[in-house]
């Protein structure tokens, strides 16, 4: 009678990812890049890519099958993290959450090529949500994009700066009060 609850649906966790890592403009070879994907089942799906001599790396598209989408009330949430682990520091190449089990074309476009300069500071940025002109997607990264990229927070150690109008030369330091 309720066999459709057990039937599994495809859940799109991540598009194909391509990127390059440089430091001061020089490609970094043999660097481990870690991708961590978590669906609401809370299982961490982690894979590793290693940069080649040109600093390039690649992850294939990732999907799973799950019966969770068949539940009557479910809020889909997928955590996507791509990072470099350098000692005890995580360098974020991509950190985002998606609220769909289907591919999001705007995410796929951003992840088609990550241009990651290790000397860049991490920023939070917005990019267009094509089906809703009043809402944008948000992600965090040290990577940069030429188009559809509006940074709004910059993180520099324990200091945070508001990026005014997406201009890295127009910053306002955030006063963080300690408890």
Q: Average pLDDT, stretch 18-40?
A: 95
Confidence of residue 100 (pLDDT cuts 50, 70, 90): confident
101 lies in some domain: yes
Confidence of residue 1 (pLDDT cuts 50, 70, 90): very low
Contact present, 68 and 23 (Cβ < 8 Å) = no
18 lies in some domain: yes
The pLDDT of residue 128: 93
Domain hosting 126: range is 9-173
Q: What are phi and psi of 70, to 5 degrees?
A: -85, -10
Which stretches within the chain are classed as H helix? Answer: 105-111
Q: What total of structural domains would you count in the chain?
A: 1
Could you read off the pLDDT of 44-54 as tens digits, one per residue? 999 999 999 99
Q: Is it the case that residue 178 has pLDDT exceeding 60?
A: no
Q: What are phi and psi of 111, to 5 degrees?
A: -85, -5
Nearest to 14 by CA among 62, 66, 81, 48: 62
169 lies in some domain: yes
């Amino acid at each position: 009678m309720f066999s459709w609850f057990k039937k599994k649906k495809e859940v799109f966790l991540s598009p194909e990812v391509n990127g390059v890592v440089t430091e001061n403009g020089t490609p970094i070879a043999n660097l481990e890049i870690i991708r961590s994907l978590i669906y609401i089942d809370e299982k961490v799906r982690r894979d590793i890519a290693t940069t080649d001599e040109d600093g390039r790396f690649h992850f294939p598209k990732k999907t799973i099958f799950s019966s969770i989408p068949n539940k009557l009330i479910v809020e889909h949430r997928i955590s996507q993290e791509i990072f470099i682990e350098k000692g005890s520091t995580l360098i974020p190449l991509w950190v985002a959450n998606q609220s769909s089990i289907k591919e999001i074309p705007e995410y796929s476009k951003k992840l088609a090529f990550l241009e990651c300069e290790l000397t860049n500071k991490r920023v939070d940025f917005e990019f267009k949500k094509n089906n809703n002109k009043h809402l944008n997607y948000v992600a965090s990264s040290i990577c940069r994009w030429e188009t559809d990229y509006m940074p709004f927070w910059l993180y520099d150690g324990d200091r945070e700066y508001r990026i005014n109008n997406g201009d890295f030369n127009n910053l306002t330091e955030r006063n963080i009060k300690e408890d």
